């Protein structure tokens, strides 16, 4: 019969887990940043570390499509709402 490790009786909070991870050493991102900033290393190694860390420090901007849909001409509609004093009730007003 295989022996399994005993589980802890009390649950571990997220803060305690994060503290345990930080105490065990730098994260991969921390390590890449340390390599990038180490002036004693070769420039090519520092650039590779910077390229690898960049997406986690500075996320890419999302592209957004702007313009017409389905090749239809762009149309801008402006509607003026009349008030009761001008003869017609305002359709957006609640009774």
Per-residue pLDDT tens digits of the chain, which is 95 residues long:
455 555 444 555 555 666 666 677 778 888 899 899 999 999 999 999 999 999 988 888 888 777 666 777 777 777 776 666 666 655 666 65
Q: Does the residue 79 lie in any domain?
A: no
Q: Does the residue 14 lie in any domain?
A: no
Distance of CA 70 to the CA centre of its chain: 30
DSSP letters for 43-70: HHHHHHHHHHHHHHHSPPPPP---S-ST
Q: What is the CA radius of gyration of the chain?
A: 30
Q: Which domain holds residue 49?
A: 31-57
Q: Do the Cβ atoms of 38 and 26 come closer than 8 Å? A: no
> Domains in the chain: how many in total?
1
Q: Does the residue 89 lie in any domain?
A: no
Q: Does the residue 50 lie in any domain?
A: yes
pLDDT of residue 95: 55
pLDDT of residue 7: 46
Instruction: Note the pTM of the prediction, 2 decimals.
Output: 0.43
């Amino acid at each position: 019969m295989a022996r399994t490790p005993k589980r802890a009786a009390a649950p571990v909070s997220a803060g305690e887990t994060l503290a345990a991870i930080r105490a065990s050493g730098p994260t991969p991102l921390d390590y890449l940043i340390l390599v990038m900033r180490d002036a004693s290393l070769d420039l090519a190694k520092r650039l590779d570390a910077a390229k690898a860390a960049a997406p986690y420090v500075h996320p890419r901007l999302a592209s957004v499509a702007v313009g017409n849909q389905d090749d239809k001409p762009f149309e801008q509609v402006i509607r003026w709402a009349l008030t009761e004093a001008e003869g017609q009730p305002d359709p957006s007003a609640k009774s």
